[in-house]
């Protein structure tokens, strides 16, 4: 028999235990397997949302309160454990009388008698709903984010709708407004549920909303980018789900991410289209300019070669001819710049002898070098052949040689073409004004890098184009120069271009 | 024969060829050229601009090479860009002049295919 002190001690001890459980939201239960009697603590009743003492007291009464999809796994795990003995840990959902779904973290241990027969199971349940919802939310956003990283937006939106149902809704629809409203995705758990999901005007104007009608609780969020409503996402809660503001926050976040993806895809498309339009325009413009330049060119050459023009006439004609060559060069540079920028520099590979190309360029630029007084000499192997683009190589040699002539101050210029260790080496050296060290890297950049004196004449693109062509052929270009000591440009190319 | 919708360049080329001793025939479009050729125009070589409105140069090349009575006439195409040249050569053009070209290049090309002072057969 217990004394009064012991009884009070026991009472106090029980009270402390109850209080501890209440503070921790930890429920306790015990199952007498033999008699199938289940006892729940008061806190566990509170977790299940029922009055203390109203729990049915059997294993079946417990299962009746478990969330439908989780009933089988729970039943199986408990029965297996009671049979085999031991412990288990499990997360499962329950449904409260008001329909709210909670997530419980349950741990239990079996007790056996001396003969090894399981007699009792005791366990604790911890309501982890808040943490679970947070994890669900983060996972949903992360998964949606991964899908929305694609530039192929409509399939991505359909994928996001698949993520939303049934985690966040019984039915989901995504509508896009551009070019006339259309529905790009619909996902439903039950076909009757959602064919009439409609966006209210408020959502269409950019205001997220929760509302209820005879089919249940709904949410609608706009997808807004740069102040424009690109579309909406609609949710139907379905059986037992009532949306709260935390759900709306999650939906809004999804809407924001979807809008960003839509905007990115649109910007990408627009910039690609703009580039294509510009490329086409440049191509047409270039041709249009080349035709009159050809007319002028031919006419001038005809006049000059004709009946004994006077000295003055011949000189004026020379000027006209030089100028239309410059015009043609400017047009080519512009066209090349456009192509380089959009990544479309054309390279046609054939067997080319670099020595021959160099000789042709030297011949062609002979009038220019004669005018400045620079004597141009070529030193080369007999032939240096490789798989290159002839016209582009011509451009490289021309650009380098015409620079040498322009800045060579009338002093000799040397062009060297050799084969060396399986590569082709082209060297153009002048003895003119030279290039200061701080400019040496910049001159290979296109004009917007603020090139100074080197830009006189032309658009300042020559060396940029040289570098781009050389790199496209798999080679390198280097500069060696000092102020007042001339400049040497060295181009090295592999004999075969790897595609 | 010189075929180009641009009047100035067509005239410039024709004048310069005449100055060098050749006889020339001019056409301002693909259709005009084909009509003149079929009407009994007998030419040693056709200089053809590729970029023309209405019927393009490449269409003209195709039609010329597809017509047994005209296919034997050499065709030299003129264009501002290498790619178009390559296409035309693929269709049967015999040579290509890339604009802008030099007078001496034009004369050298004419010399390859035609003879000076040659006149139309009556």
DSSP state of A374: P
CA torsion sign, A347 to A350 to A356 to A360?
Answer: negative
Tell me which chain A residues have a C-beta less than 8 angstroms from the C-beta of B49: 291
HSE-CB at B101 with a 13 A cutoff on CA atoms is 21
d(CA A235, CA A213): 13
> Of the candidates A283, A290, A391, which has its C-beta nearest B99's C-beta?
A290
Are B6 and B49 in contact by the 8 Å Cβ rule? The answer is yes
Does residue B112 have a pLDDT over 60? yes
Q: Does A326 touch chain B (CB under 8 A)?
A: no
Are A340 and A465 in contact by the 8 Å Cβ rule? The answer is yes
Nearest-by-CA chain A residue for B105: A298
Nearest alpha-carbon partner for A143 in A260, A261, A254 = A254
Does residue B55 have a pLDDT over 50? yes
The whole-number average pLDDT for the span B111-119 is 72
Those residues of chain B whose CB sits closer than 8 Å to some CB in chain A are 6, 8-9, 12-13, 15-16, 19, 49, 51, 79-83, 86, 99-104, 106
Q: What is the arrangement of strands in the sheet containing A118-127, beginning at the earlier edge strand?
A: A37-40, A26-32, A118-127, A101-112, A87-95
d(CA A84, CA A143): 39
Per-residue pLDDT of chain A (499 residues; tens, 9 = 90+): 567 888 889 999 988 888 888 888 899 999 987 888 899 988 899 999 999 888 888 888 999 999 988 999 999 999 898 888 889 999 999 999 887 889 999 999 998 887 878 788 999 999 999 899 889 899 999 999 999 998 888 889 989 998 988 888 888 989 888 777 777 777 776 655 556 788 888 888 889 999 988 888 999 999 998 888 999 999 988 777 888 888 999 999 999 999 999 999 999 988 888 887 877 777 777 777 888 888 888 888 888 887 777 888 888 888 888 888 778 777 777 777 777 766 667 777 888 899 999 998 998 888 888 888 899 999 999 899 999 988 889 889 988 998 898 888 889 999 999 998 889 999 999 998 888 888 787 778 766 443 454 444 455 677 888 888 899 888 999 999 888 889 999 999 998 765 4
- For residue A303, the SS3 value is helix
Axis crossing angle, helix A129-148 with helix A153-167, rounded to the nearest 10: 160
Is this model's pTM higher than 0.80 or not?
Answer: no
Nearest-by-CA chain B residue for A364: B102
Predicted local confidence at residue A192, as pLDDT: 55
Tell me which chain B residues have a C-beta less than 8 angstroms from the C-beta of A301: 102-104
- A294·B99 Cβ contact <8 A: yes
Nearest-by-CA chain B residue for A302: B16
B3 forms beta bridges with B27, B48
Show the tokens assigned to A486. Answer: 């001339």
- B103·A302 Cβ contact <8 A: yes
Does residue B54 have a pLDDT over 60? yes
Q: Does A301 touch chain B (CB under 8 A)?
A: yes
CA torsion sign, A47 to A50 to A53 to A54?
Answer: negative
Q: Does A391 touch chain B (CB under 8 A)?
A: yes
d(CA B82, CA B79): 8
d(CA B63, CA B58): 9
Predicted local confidence at residue A220, as pLDDT: 94
Show the tokens assigned to A60. Answer: 């079946």
**Count of CB atoms within 10 A of residue A474's CB?**
16
d(CA A357, CA A337): 23
CA torsion sign, A19 to A24 to A25 to A28?
Answer: negative
Q: Does A307 touch chain B (CB under 8 A)?
A: no
pLDDT in tens, A352-388: 899 999 998 998 888 888 888 899 999 999 899 999 9
Tell me which chain B residues have a C-beta less than 8 angstroms from the C-beta of A302: 12, 15-16, 19, 103
**Count of CB atoms within 10 A of residue A496's CB?**
13
Axis crossing angle, helix A129-148 with helix A245-305, rounded to the nearest 10: 20
Tell me which chain A residues have a C-beta less than 8 angstroms from the C-beta of B106: 298
Does residue B61 have a pLDDT over 70? yes
Q: Does A63 touch chain B (CB under 8 A)?
A: no
Does residue B118 have a pLDDT over 60? no
Rounded-to-10 torsion of CA A42, A108, A131, A59: -60
Predicted local confidence at residue A414, as pLDDT: 95
Q: Which residue has the tokens 């060290």?
A: A437
Q: Band of the pLDDT at B26, cuts 50, 70, 90?
A: very high
B77 forms beta bridges with B48, B96
| Burial class (CB within 10 angstroms; exposed 0-12, middle 13-18, buried 19+) of B10 | buried
- B82·A348 Cβ contact <8 A: yes
Predicted local confidence at residue A36, as pLDDT: 85
Nearest alpha-carbon partner for A436 in A411, A454, A460, A409 = A454
β-pairing, A118-127 vs A216-225, is unpaired
**Count of CB atoms within 10 A of residue A337's CB?**
19
Tell me which chain B residues have a C-beta less than 8 angstroms from the C-beta of A297: 100-103
Mutate to test the interface with A, among B16, B49, B80 (most CBs of A within 10 A): B80
d(CA B40, CA B25): 12
d(CA B14, CA A365): 28
Q: Does A293 touch chain B (CB under 8 A)?
A: yes
| φ, ψ dihedrals at A423, nearest 5° | -115, 165
Show the tokens assigned to A9. Answer: 């001690």
d(CA A471, CA A382): 25
| Burial class (CB within 10 angstroms; exposed 0-12, middle 13-18, buried 19+) of B78 | buried
pLDDT in tens, A177-195: 877 777 777 777 665 555 6
Mean pLDDT score of chain B = 85
> Of the candidates A294, A301, A346, which has its C-beta nearest B83's C-beta?
A346
Are A178 and A230 in contact by the 8 Å Cβ rule? The answer is yes
E strand intervals along chain B: 2-3, 26-27, 46-49, 75-79, 95-98
| φ, ψ dihedrals at A440, nearest 5° | -65, -30
- A305·B103 Cβ contact <8 A: yes
The number of helix segments (H) and strand segments (E) in chain B equals: 5, 5
For chain A, state the CA radius of gyration. Answer: 41
């Amino acid at each position: 028999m217990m004394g009064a002190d012991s009884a009070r001690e026991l009472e106090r001890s029980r009270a402390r235990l109850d209080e501890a459980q209440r503070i921790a939201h930890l429920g306790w239960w015990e199952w007498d397997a033999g008699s199938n009697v289940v006892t729940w603590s008061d806190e566990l009743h509170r977790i299940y949302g029922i009055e203390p003492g109203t729990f049915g007291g059997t294993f079946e009464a417990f299962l009746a309160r478990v969330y439908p999809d989780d009933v089988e796994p729970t039943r199986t795990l408990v029965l297996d454990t009671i049979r085999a003995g031991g412990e288990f840990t499990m997360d499962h959902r329950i449904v409260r009388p008001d329909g709210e779904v909670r997530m419980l973290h349950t741990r239990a241990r079996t007790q056996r008698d001396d003969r090894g027969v399981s007699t009792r199971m005791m366990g604790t349940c911890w309501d982890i709903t808040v943490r679970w919802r947070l994890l669900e939310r983060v996972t949903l956003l992360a998964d949606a984010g991964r899908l929305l990283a694609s530039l192929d937006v409509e399939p991505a939106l359909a994928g996001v709708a698949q993520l939303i149902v049934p985690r966040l809704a019984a039915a989901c629809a995504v509508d896009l407004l551009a070019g006339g409203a259309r529905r790009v995705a619909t996902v439903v758990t039950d076909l009757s549920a959602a064919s009439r999901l409609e966006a209210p005007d408020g959502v269409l104007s950019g205001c997220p909303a929760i509302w209820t009608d005879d089919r249940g609780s709904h949410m609608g969020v706009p997808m807004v980018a740069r102040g424009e409503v690109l579309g909406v996402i609609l949710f139907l809660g379905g059986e037992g789900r009532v949306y709260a503001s935390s759900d709306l926050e999650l939906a809004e976040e999804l809407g924001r991410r979807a809008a960003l993806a839509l905007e990115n895809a649109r910007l990408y498309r627009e910039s690609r289209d703009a580039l294509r339009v510009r490329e086409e325009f440049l191509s047409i413009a270039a041709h249009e300019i080349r035709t009159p330049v050809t007319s002028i060119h031919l006419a001038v050459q005809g006049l000059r070669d004709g009946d004994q023009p006077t000295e003055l006439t011949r000189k004026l004609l020379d000027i006209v001819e030089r100028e239309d060559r410059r015009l043609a060069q400017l047009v080519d540079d512009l066209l090349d710049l456009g192509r380089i920028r959009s990544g479309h520099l054309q390279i046609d590979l054939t067997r080319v002898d670099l020595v021959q190309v160099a000789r042709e360029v030297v011949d062609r630029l002979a009038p220019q070098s004669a005018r400045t007084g620079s004597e141009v000499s070529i030193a080369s192997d007999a032939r240096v052949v490789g798989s290159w683009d002839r016209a582009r190589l011509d451009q490289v040699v021309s650009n380098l040689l015409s620079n040498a002539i322009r800045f060579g101050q009338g002093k000799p210029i040397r062009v060297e073409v050799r084969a060396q260790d399986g590569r082709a080496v082209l060297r153009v050296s002048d003895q003119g004004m030279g290039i200061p060290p701080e400019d040496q890297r910049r001159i290979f950049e296109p004009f917007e890098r603020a090139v100074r004196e080197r830009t006189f004449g032309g658009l300042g693109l020559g060396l940029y184009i040289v570098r781009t062509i050389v790199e496209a052929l798999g080679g390198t270009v280097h500069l060696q120069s000092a102020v007042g000591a001339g400049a040497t440009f060295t181009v090295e190319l592999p004999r075969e271009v790897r595609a | 024969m010189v075929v180009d919708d641009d009047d100035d360049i067509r005239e410039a080329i024709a004048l310069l060829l005449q100055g060098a001793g050749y006889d020339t025939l001019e056409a301002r479009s693909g259709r005009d050229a084909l009509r003149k050729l079929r009407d009994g125009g007998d030419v040693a070589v056709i200089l053809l601009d590729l970029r023309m409105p209405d019927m393009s140069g490449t269409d003209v090349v195709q039609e010329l090479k597809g017509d047994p009575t005209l296919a034997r006439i050499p065709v030299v195409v003129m264009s501002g860009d290498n790619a178009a040249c390559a296409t035309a050569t693929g269709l049967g053009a015999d040579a290509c002049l890339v604009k802008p070209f030099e007078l001496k290049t034009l004369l050298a090309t004419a010399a390859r295919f035609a003879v000076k002072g040659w006149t139309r057969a009556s």
